[in-house]
Amino acid sequence: MTKKLIIATRESQLALWQAHHIRDRLEALHPGLTVELLGMTTQGDQILDSPLSRIGGKGLFVKELEQAMMEGRAHLAVHSLKDVPMDLPEGFELTAIGKREDPRDAFVSNHYKSLAGLPPGARVGTSSLRRQAQLRAKHPGLVVDTLRGNVNTRLRKLDEGQYDAIILAAAGLKRLGFGKRIAASLSPAESLPAVGQGALGIEIRSGQPEVARLLAPLNDPITAACVRAERAMSRMLQGGCQAPIGGYCVEEGGRLHLRGFVADLEGVRFYRAEAEGVMADPEALGHQVAEALIGQGADRLLAELIHRD
């Protein structure tokens, strides 16, 4: 019987919070189990002067963690699911998806209370092409710039006056105790979240039934179904990090409701779709919404974005 688990984790403050959270839950669930952390610095943490879409995408945050699992130095990795590529490498699986934290985007500013309150020409920072496209579509008078770095770095740049406001994931701010920095939470109608936003995913190597058994109580069925629908939509679109894609699914009365969009970088061409489906087959719902977006021309737009210089 497994007596010790090792979690491979990035060493950012948020990643460590997430790993400690899962460690504490596992040790509470399984008396006698010891859980240790293996801290690592990934390529995504090292390269901070370029947008993710230009340097290899979200996989840069997970490759080293997967290598540690492949070499037997770790049993599992804890991820913010919005940072996990839609296709995992062969031999890996998401064995548990935890209950979702606040999935919304957060407006953070020291001088303004809302996006609508920003004056023309105000500078807004965010790392996400998805957020950038939605900002440009709904607030064309703003200057939207790329903002990389961990949560503390982004807040510091705001406090130094480099930006009038920044947009971050509400979940990360709340997990790190920065909830009071949120001036306004953006509803999904204002800013549709990223696929998997607010949810934690636990990745393991396939073929480890004892590890999977220990992790099973951490899985939240409703969140897992919603995220599976979102990821199925994104996987079918094959947009990667090169395109603004949003996807958000909720459970309503025992059924799933999924909304998705694909846009160009300027927020000019915008394709939206939504549908309902059954809890038992979330992937079918994801495919349905993706097909509706493709029917509007999203596939041609994505091809342009992926192959642009």
Q: Which residues are catalytic?
A: 83
Per-state percent for the chain, helix, strand, coil, to nearest 5: 40, 25, 35
Q: How far apart are CA 77 and CA 68, in angstroms?
A: 9
Confirm if 138 and 105 have CB atoms less than 8 A apart: no
Q: How far apart are CA 37 and CA 6, in angstroms?
A: 6
Listed in sequence order, the residues at least 6 apart from 60 whose beta carbon sits closer than 8 Å to its beta carbon are 42, 43, 44, 47, 52
Listed in sequence order, the residues at least 6 apart from 246 whose beta carbon sits closer than 8 Å to its beta carbon are 130, 134, 191, 192, 193, 194, 195, 259, 260, 261
Confirm if 249 and 257 have CB atoms less than 8 A apart: yes
Q: How far apart are CA 7 and CA 25, in angstroms?
A: 13
Buried b (16+ CB within 10 A) or exposed e, 2-29: eeebbbbbbebebbbbbbeebbeebeee
